[in-house]
Amino acid sequence: MSPLMQDVARVLISEEELQRRVAELGREISEDYEGLDPLLVCVLKGGYMFLADLTRHLTIRHAIDFMAVSSYGDATETSGVVRILKDLDSDISGRHVLLVEDIIDTGHTLAYLMDNLRVRQPASLNVVSLLNKPSRREVDIEIAYQGFVIPNEFVVGYGLDYAENYRNLRFVGVLKPEIYAAELERE
């Protein structure tokens, strides 16, 4: 077994399930945004794999851009503090913007981003999130498109990391608790 796989307790969403759902989302978004030339804004780093697969299922004209924010450091709990590490290259005023997220947990990161982008007066602003952990929500957020609703467990893979590892896994898996036990003990 590979060193990364050894740290995974179980597969939550398989590669096949992910690919099927991402293809569906691509079809849905292609229909809804036909003729609107949307700008897909990927929230780095976690959203990179989802964006890459999602856009390959889009049949419409669209552009992509990236934003990087930090909210967690290496911890598994939100700090509530969001910092913009990289801003958009493009001007979004009058554009149809679709934010591409890996996961919505407490909602703090997304709430901050939405407020920040809304000020720039896009024609519309929606969210597509691969994963949704509603049991942890602290801020109310409207999610136009979501891949999967998941239980309250810390997951890695398909872009999602723990301390910058595991992003390359082709599935979404639950990390063994002993991997972050040391961090829990420090709290």
46 is a contact residue toward Mg ion (CB under 5 A): yes
Q: Would you please indicate which residues are annotated as catalytic (active-site) residues?
A: 105
Among 95, 96, 108, 167, binds ligand IMP (CB under 6 A): 108
3-state secondary structure of 34: coil
Q: How far is the CB of 160 from ligand IMP (least distance, A)?
A: 4
Burial of 110 (0-12, 13-18, 19+ CB in 10 A): buried
Sheet harboring 39-44: ordered strands across? 83-86, 63-70, 39-44, 96-104, 124-132, 145-149
Selected range binding ligand IMP among 5-13, 18-26, 29-37, 155-163, rule: CB under 6 A: 155-163
161 is a contact residue toward Mg ion (CB under 5 A): no
92 is a contact residue toward ligand IMP (CB under 6 A): no
51 vs 160 by CB, closer to ligand IMP? 160
| Amino acid (one-letter) located at 64 | I
Q: What are phi and psi of 29, to 5 degrees?
A: -65, -40
154 is a contact residue toward ligand IMP (CB under 6 A): yes
Selected range binding ligand IMP among 17-25, 33-41, 56-64, 152-160, rule: CB under 6 A: 152-160
Instruction: Please tell me the distance from the alpha carbon of residue 32 to that of residue 117, in angstroms, as a whole number.
Output: 21
Residues interacting with ligand IMP, by CB under 6 A? Answer: 46, 71-72, 78, 101-110, 154-156, 160
